[in-house]
Amino acid sequence: MSPVLNPAFKTVALIGRYKSRDVAGPLEELGRFLAGRGCNVLVDRETASESGLALFPMVDREEIGAKADLVVVLGGDGSMLTAARLLAPTGVPLIGVNQGRLGFLTDIALRAMIEQMGKVLAGEYQIEPRTMLDAAVHRDGTTPFKTIALNDLVVNKGATGRLIEILVRIDGEFVYDLRADGLIVATPTGSTAYALSSNGPILHPGVPGLALVPICPHTLSNRPIAVSDGSVIEVAIRRAADALLHFDGHPSFELKEGDRVTVQRANQVLRLVHPPGYSYYAMLREKLHWSETLV
């Protein structure tokens, strides 16, 4: 492959899987390749410290959005989710190299990393916006917690294991009273994560919708529904021995009876870079084994 003298992305930042020294070799290989194609290469300081990679300038994650034209995340979906929450507000696009398991968000296989990144630098790529969520906890006239998420927001039971009771309103209208282990509010990106394992629908990323998926509801008539992503969803904690708010799989905030959690589409979107040949349906066939022949 001939060098790209004018790469499509001139400054590329690299982020590796959290606390993994296994990324050092692939990161060094990718960094040298990018530099050889005319890119300025930066490495996330935390990644450099954990992996021992010291060949390229280091930057704090908070600086990456201002300095990079593209961020390459080498890891799994968890690594991409963490990077997305931090960097989506800056508008810098992300692309993932899969060093995890499923890899719904990391398009490039490790074995094809150099070939695919060469094509991306040559301008063979597409950018796809992904919806994010904005959530806030309201308590006694205050807002003690706010966050953004790419996959989902989850209100669920805590350590006691008892069912919680929540009231769900959409755009101010009462929808249902739910007794369950919890409720997932998922974006189309998150519809293939926790929501899918809870029998929620798969939403194509181009669908302007959100999925509300009850977790082990006490009444089987409580079913998943899809709503417009222009909706404001309110989850009020009616009864709970303890309850927690999670975002993208991270436990984040302890909820109390009387708390209200509001969830809506965030103003910012994640900009995902896909290599040539990317297909959402092909990804589903591969990850969910839809092409296997039953015998």
CA distance 151 to 16: 20
3-state helix, strand, coil in the chain (%, to 5): 25, 40, 35
Place of tokens 């398009």: 107
Q: Determine the longest span between alpha carbons in the chain, in angstroms.
A: 64
Residue 77 is a catalytic residue: yes
> How far apart are alpha carbons 210 and 152 in whole angstroms?
9
Contact 61, 5 (CB under 8 A): no
Task: Fill in the amino acid letter for 267.
Answer: N
Q: Which of 60, 69, 77, 134 is catalytic?
A: 77
Question: What is the dihedral angle through the alpha carbons of 92, 93, 97, 100, rounded to the nearest 10 degrees?
Answer: 80
d(CA 116, CA 188): 25
Residue 56 identity = F
Residue 272 token pair: 């995902």
Catalytic residues: 77
